[in-house]
Amino acid sequence: MSKRFKDDQIALITGIGLGLTLTIQITTLTASDFADIYSQITTASRFFALTGSYLAIIGLLLIARISWIENVLGHDRLVTWHRKAMPYALYFITLHVLLVTLGYAGGDQVRIGTALWTMITTYPWMLPATLGFVLLLVAGVSSYRIFRQSISYESWWVIHLYTYLGVALSFMHQILTGAMFISHPLAKNYWISLYSFVVVAILYWRILMPLAKSIRHKLMVDKVVNEGPGVVSIYIKGRDVKKLNAQGGQFFSWRFLSKDLWYQSHPYSLSASPSDESMRITVKALGDSSSELTHLKSGTRVFIEGPYGVFKASSARRGRHIVLIGGGVGITPLRAIMEEFPNNTQIDILYRASHESELVLRKELDELSDRIGARVHYLVGSRQEHTMSYEYLKKFVPNFQDSEVFICGPEGLVSAVKEAAKKAGIPKNRFHDEAFAFHG
C-alpha cells in the first residue's frame, strides 16, 4: 500500500466523520434558526462549534499513539497533521464564542458583556466550558514558535496537556445546551460515542499500553558506554525484548526512573538492531536531560512508549540499492537499520560531519560494513566542500537516481539531499527521513 493511498484512506475516514458531524446540525435546523439576523449568527456559531470541536478531537486522536496508525503513517507525520488541525480547531471555537455572544446579545437586546456574563453564570456547564476555552487558548498560543522557543520543552509539554482538560471541560455544555443535541437523541449519542472513543483510545494507547509493556518487559539500564565527546550509548536489558516488535531505526520515548530523570521522557532512536535481551540507544548531550544520561546507574528501571516511526529497513522496496545518509549523531538509526536489510542488498553509507571527532560509532560502522559488504564514505569538512548536491552525490553513488534513500541529520543536510533527490527524479516513497525533532 503506497503512502499516498494510506493518506487518502485516513482523509476519507476523517471526511466521513466531518460529514456526519455537519449532518447533525443540518438535520436539526428549524425555521426559527433563520428567523432574524441574530438567530442566523447563533446558527453560524453552532456550525463553528461543531466543526472546531470535531477538529480538536481528531487532533487529539492523531497523537493518541494508536499503534496501527503510527506503524503505517509514522509519528512525525501524525504530529505534523496534529499541528495543522489544532490551530483551525482553535480558530473555529473562538469564532463560536464570539458569534454566540453576539447572537444572544442581539436577540435579547442587551450589551455584549451582559450577554456573555449571563451565559457564563446561568447556562448549565458554561463556567467549566469557559475555563476549557481559556486553557485551549493558552495551550494554542504556547505552541506558536515565538512562545515555544522561549520556554523549555518540559514547560511547553505541561502547558500542552491543558488541551485535554480544555476539550473535556467543554463537553457537557455542548450536550446540555447545544440545540442540535437537546431533543435529538441520535445526534447526542453520536457525539457521546465520538468523545468516548477518543477518551478510551487515549487512556489505552497513551497510558495503559506503555505502562503494561514497561512492567512486562522489566526494562532496565544495563550499562552506559562513552562513544566520544558528549555522546554515550545506553544498553537497556529486559525480558522478551523481541516481543516489543521494534525494528532498527524506530524510536521509543524513554523515561529513566532515576532521581533526576523520572519526570521527563525523551525520544531516542535505536542505534542497533534489538536482540531478545537488549536494546541500545546512542545519545548526544544537548540539554539537561541528555547530559544527565551519562550518570545513569546500571539497574535503573526504564519506562517506554513505542516503538514508533516508519524509518526502518522494512519500509524500503526489495532489491533497491540503498543509500543511507547520516549527519553527526543522526547516524545512529542508520547504523541500526543497516543490519536489517536482506542479505546481498547493496548499501552505500554517506556519513557527514564537520570534524573527525563527530564521527560516532565509526569503528562499529567499519566492522559492520565489512561484514555485510556495504561501502562507507566519510564526508568530513565544510558544507562548501561537501555540497550534497545531486552531482556531488553521484560521485559516490553513480546510480543515485535509482536508489532508495534514508537520511537522518540536521535540517540543512536533509533539505540539501531532498533537493538532490528531487533533481534525480527519486519519488517521495523512495525517500525516507527522520528528523530528531518533530517538525511542523
Ligand X SMILES: Cc1cc2nc3c(=O)[nH]c(=O)nc-3n(C[C@H](O)[C@H](O)[C@H](O)COP(=O)(O)OP(=O)(O)OC[C@H]3O[C@@H](n4cnc5c(N)ncnc54)[C@H](O)[C@@H]3O)c2cc1C
Q: Which is nearer to ligand X, 76 or 403 (CB)?
A: 76
Nearer to ligand X, 129 or 244 (CB): 244
Place of cell 562513544: 227
Nearer to ligand X, 80 or 401 (CB): 80
Task: Tell me the C-alpha distance between 394 and 424, whole Å.
Answer: 10
Q: In what order do the strands lie in the sheet with 251-256?
A: 266-269, 251-256, 302-308
Alpha carbon 374 to chain centroid, angstroms: 32
Pairing of strands 375-380, 302-308: unpaired
Q: Which of 396, 395, 398, 393 lies closest to 422, judged by CA?
A: 393
CB of 230 to ligand X, least distance (A): 9
Separation CA 302–CA 290 (nearest Å): 15
Shortest distance (Å) from residue 360 CB to ligand X: 9
CB of 98 to ligand X, least distance (A): 33
Q: Please say which residue, 187 or 365, places its beta carbon nearer to ligand X.
A: 365
Q: In what order do the strands lie in the sheet with 220-228?
A: 220-228, 231-237, 278-284
Task: For residue 293, give the DSSP letter.
Answer: G
CB-facing half-sphere around the CA of 165: CA atoms within 13 A: 15
What amino acid occupies position 301?
R
CA 415 to chain centre: 20
- Identity of the residue, 105 or 324, whose beta carbon is nearer to ligand X in the bound complex: 324
SS3 222: strand
**Between 108 and 288, whose beta carbon lies closer to ligand X?**
288
For the CA atoms of 275, 278, 284, 285, the dihedral, rounded to the nearest 10 degrees, stands at: 170
Beta carbon of residue 302, minimum distance to ligand X (angstroms, whole number): 15
Q: How far apart are CA 266 and CA 321, in angstroms?
A: 33
Nearest-angstrom CA–CA distance, 121 and 30: 27
Beta carbon of residue 369, minimum distance to ligand X (angstroms, whole number): 20
Nearer to ligand X by Cβ, of 21 and 253: the residue is 253
Dihedral angle, C-alpha 332, 63, 91, 171, nearest 10 °: -160
Query: Least separation, in Å, of the C-beta of 436 and ligand X?
Result: 4
Looking at the Cβ atoms of 217 and 266, the one nearer to ligand X is 266
Supply 101's cell numbers.
455572544
Closest separation between CB of residue 22 and ligand X, Å?
Answer: 35
Nearest to ligand X of 129, 329 (CB atom): 329
Q: Could you tell me the smallest distance in angstroms from the CB atom of residue 76 to ligand X?
A: 7
Which residues pair with residue 303 across a beta bridge?
Answer: 255
Find the shortest distance in angstroms from Cβ 101 to ligand X. Answer: 37
Going by their DSSP bridges, the two strands 231-237 and 220-228 should be labelled as antiparallel
CB 81 within 8 A of CB 61: no
Please confirm whether the linkage preceding 185 is cis (ω < 30° from 0): no
Closer CB to ligand X, 152 or 196, in the complex: 152
In the complex, the smallest distance separating the C-beta of residue 248 from ligand X, rounded to whole angstroms, is 11
| Chain positions contacting ligand X, by CB under 6 A | 152-153, 251, 266-269, 281-284, 286-290, 329, 332, 436-438
- Picking from 329, 297, 296, the residue whose alpha carbon sits closest to that of residue 229 is 329
Residue 257 CB, nearest approach to ligand X (Å): 16
Please identify which residue in the block is written with the cell numbers 520543552: 153
Residue number, 105 or 261, with CB nearest to ligand X: 261
Q: Which residue is nearest to ligand X (CB)?
A: 287
Indicate the burial class of 240 (C-beta count within 10 angstroms; 0-12, 13-18, 19 or more).
Answer: exposed
